Structure 1
């Protein structure tokens, strides 16, 4: 690693002749891919220190963006118990339709957004869509009827669609698969903090009822929307794009980060006769189509539904579920807080151990069993304390399971564009579960909501079956590939051909 690079990394060509961002990326990639480069070439670098630098500069900002995203999509549940439905003279079915239409638009725009993120600058694309949904959120506080709210929720889904899959994929541009779940959890736990924050904010903002001639629930939308716009503007200056252009890392550190990412996933063990294979990262439509045709993505979506249906059931209806246990609105808002805080803490703790042992499925399956137990308690009795405990246990499993499942699939997709498309498909189609869950908890079923709890149980059970299929399939494929490599079968392919094959190459090992 003797290459030197004396010109500063800037984005545009200027009169002084500074390099473009494209040139900077090409230079760092060339350093990482130089002949003879190996992990030993970077042995003098402190990997943990580099990771800490990345964590400090990436995770807090992404977490804040996702906190606002989750806050803005879920605050309608808080607004409902503050009088939204009555003031807009909506029926229960109309209210549920407003929840559903968000997820339909959300699912449709996730794949295009992720492909754009890869081709454009994340520091421009993510804040731009954030400004757009912040404006929509603010204007939602001015709607006067069902049609107005329905239209606002539709556009909220369109504008917010790219944030979560974009951030989840963005992290895979920086972190290796053995490190990704902890970072995904730190980022995603902002969603559960948003749930707690939402209850506290709604409790406080609702006291503005009557200010400016507006109801309290309108102020929830207006103030939270304005906060999103302000943070989005700051994100233009605080988000980084790619490791190759990260000014907080030295050139050699950037090359090391890229090297780790390029060669992850393919076996390098001598007992299997491993070969060093770089992941393909040039755009080609075949990688996008490969994602649509990959069996593991579609099986994983059932696991995702088994988690996300209960997740959205909780995030959209928790205030109503708790209120119908016999509490007034203000108390119900506050009782949601410990549930979300516990979920956030457990998401990070479970992710830490999952990354340490390099396994995903044992933790995902265990957490899904906790979800089952929680809803069994909810459906088995009408005692308020037991129902509250059931929701608590379910939420404790939901947040760690969600982060684990996202990391599980991202670990098993090789190649930047295939991973980008695959994660967007998983999250996009998977978030149709939010459209399902929007209709699970009907007001006429209160206070016990037996139908809603039963449907959550059903989806989680199907998700566990899908997880078992993935585990058995990954194990069988890994054993088969290990045998082929030991027998020298990988020598039939050049490193370039193995790179093109991505996660289908005999040298690639699935994480399970």
Structure 2
């Protein structure tokens, strides 16, 4: 497919094709003087895919591996050798999520101001150092400090990359990329168990126990990956050096044609951040995401321990996590693909959360190891795909680069703060079936179901109001519109000033 023209959006949301690189009547076309007739759009996006998604997915694999490997290390006598109680161990899990949540919004603002190649690479090196030092601690206070620092430096990767990818792809393309990126979390769950078993064979080398070597080896790998990331991570479309000027023009025009009016660039203004902080969609999406993220972290942090309590050894428990995460990875990618192709992200969330709820109902009721093991497959296949699907859903419905950056960070930050809750729900005195932990996770899933249904209903109602013309602005020289919706000199001004609140914008259900 050769791109001979680039689409723009009319005042009512219709596609207006632009011939020979000339701007549409309403203006605003990026680089109107650039001839893009020789650019193959599909080949260009494959080129973009290869430079963005694989390496960023690998980095998230390391990120998720580093934060959850403490669950694998616990099975190799970490608590006893550090002299910490079960309560102290849970505090170490909790404090990670507090610093993680606190630094996500500031990190996304810095990411927009700096180059992703600089900011993301620096964060990786720093958290890799914290991870390595975590294997050198000798007591509870040392582990506590390292978990806080690890959370602070890891905070920027997931919200940063999800926002960064949304700046490269159309709304109908973003979900599968986000799913592939997030599927690294499921791979890290499978890989983490295998890696922990292998590293545990180093027990005693250099006077270090197996659990310490898990932290040290994984930390050193992260430092190395962060160091080379500076030369691998590419920056935003308008200044990506691996593309020609014509290729950058095509990428940005594609986004403009997808109602991403700020794709060509947007100056930092506090009003954009204020919109994210005051919009109802942000806060309802936070509830949706919290209903998914708490179960996710509870699952990831305690799956080895849950399986261990079925009567399996530490090594076998770690190995039995592998097929669970493998199936979750497949489910995540499939949902990302179909949600992009057919839409209805809210409906996918509702179905997936229902599957997860069935899994946890079985876990609460079951007293059979085989049945409980089957239930964790249902839980994983329901929870993991919801994370990238919800992120894509929120991203699809937030226009304006700074607004989307802050809104995504707020949603993800609030969800990750629930990790502090999930870190404390599986108590040692609840062994072997953990009824309290499973019950609280089920409660969060129920909250996610209700919030998802509400979010979808309100978005659908708002689209209907726009279809009826109730949100039309007054445009100079045109008939119709309502003063309460604003008065603008042109449609382009309305798009730029109002973002997704513009009457021609339609929300993704």
Identify whether the pair has TM-score above 0.5, normalized to the shorter chain: yes
Equivalent-residue separation in structure 1 for 2:331 and 2:36 (angstroms): 34
| Corresponding residue number in structure 1 for 2:134 | 140
Name the counterpart of 2:13.
none
Q: Deviations over 1:369-425 (max 9, x none)?
A: 111011011111110011111111100111111110000001111000000000000
Shift of 1:42: 5.3
Distance 2:458 2:124 in 1: 39
d(CA) in 2 for partners of 1:87, 1:33: 68
Task: Return the alpha-carbon distance in structure 2 between the equivalents of residues 382 and 428 of structure 1.
Answer: 36
**C-alpha separation between the residues in 1 aligned to 2:350 and 2:92?**
32
Partner of 1:5: none
2:504 aligned with 1:510: no
TM-score when scaled to structure 1?
A: 0.89
Corresponding residue for 2:475?
A: none
Tell me the distance in 2 between the aligned counterparts of 1:278 and 1:131. 30
Q: Distance in 1 between matches of 2:241 and 2:191?
A: 33
Q: 2:438 aligns with which of 427, 444, 453?
A: 453
Match among 185, 189, 196 for residue 183 of structure 2: 189
Could you tell me how far 1:363 is from its partner in structure 2?
1.2
1:278–1:221: structure 2 CA closer, same or farther, 3 Å change rule?
Answer: closer
Instruction: Determine which of 310, 320, 327 is the counterpart of 1:325.
Output: 310
Q: Secondary structure at the match of 2:413?
A: helix
Q: Secondary structure at the match of 1:431?
A: helix
Q: Which residue of 1 aligns with 2:78?
A: 84
Q: CA deviation at 1:36?
A: 8.1
1:324-365 deviation digits (Å, cap 9, x = unpaired):
000000100100001111111111111111101133111111
The answer (yes or no) to whether the contact 1:32–1:258 under 8 Å persists in 2 is no
Query: Alignment length, in residue pairs?
Result: 475
Unaligned runs of 5+ in 1: 3-30, 267-275
Shift of 1:157: 0.7
- 2:495 matched to 1:498? yes
Q: Deviations over 1:298-317 (max 9, x none)?
A: 11111111111111011100
Please give the secondary structure, in 1, of the residue aligned with 2:493: helix
Question: Which residue of the other structure, out of 367, 375, 383, is the alignment partner of 2:368?
Answer: 383
The residue that corresponds to 1:288 in the other structure is 273
1:123 equivalent in structure 2: 117
Q: 2:377 aligns with which of 389, 392, 395?
A: 392
CA distance in 2, matches of 1:37, 1:340: 44
Greater shift after overlay, 246-255 or 475-484? 246-255
Q: 1:155 to 1:406 in 2, by over 3 A?
A: same
> Among 477, 480, 489, which residue is 2:481 paired with?
489
- Alignment RMSD: 2.2
User: Which structure 2 residues correspond to residues 226-237 of structure 1 after superposition, within 5 A?
Assistant: 226-237=220-231
CA distance in 2, matches of 1:502, 1:37: 16
Q: Which residue of 262, 277, 292 corresponds with 1:307?
A: 292
Q: Per the alignment, in what secondary structure is the counterpart of residue 461 of structure 1?
A: helix
> Is this contact kept in 2: 1:263–1:278, CA < 8 A?
no
How do 1:23-34 and structure 2 match up within 5 A? none
Does 2:72 match 1:71? no
CA distance in 2, matches of 1:356, 1:100: 38
1:61 to 55, 64, 89: 55
User: After the TM superposition, which segments of 4 or more aligned residues of structure 1 sit over 4 Å from their partners?
Assistant: 31-44, 276-280, 485-488
SS at match of 1:51: helix
Partner of 2:414: 429
Cα 1:102–1:353, aligned 2, differ >3 Å: closer, same or farther? same
Partners of 1:140 and 1:86 lie apart in 2 by 16
Match of 1:26 in 2: none
Corresponding residue for residue 356 of structure 1: 341
Task: Kindly indicate whether the alpha-carbon contact (under 8 Å) linking 2:298 and 2:422 is maintained by their aligned counterparts in 1.
Answer: yes
Q: What per-residue deviation string (whole Å, max 9, x for no partner) do you get for residues 436-482 of structure 1? A: 10011111101100001000110010111011111110011001012
Given that 1:279 and 1:500 are in contact with CA atoms closer than 8 Å, whether structure 2 keeps it comes out as: no
Q: How far 1:33 sits from its partner (Å)?
A: 6.7
1:223-251: CA deviation from partner (whole Å, max 9, x where unpaired): 00000000111101111112123343332
For normalisation by structure 2, the TM-score amounts to 0.89
Determine the structure 1 residue equivalent to 2:213.
Answer: 219
Counterpart CA distance in 2 for 1:259 and 1:88 is 56
Q: Distance in 2 between matches of 1:343 and 1:455?
A: 21
Cα offset, 1:366, TM superposition: 1.1
Q: 1:41: Cα distance to partner?
A: 7.8
- Between stretches 246-255 and 181-190, larger displacement belongs to 246-255
Distance 1:141 1:219 in 2: 6
Say yes or no: does 1:466 pair with 2:451: yes
Q: Distance in 2 between matches of 1:467 and 1:286?
A: 28
Q: Judge conservation of contact 1:371–1:393 (CA < 8 Å) in 2.
A: yes
C-alpha distance in 2, partners of 1:257/1:98?
Answer: 44
* Residue 479 (structure 1) aligns with: 464
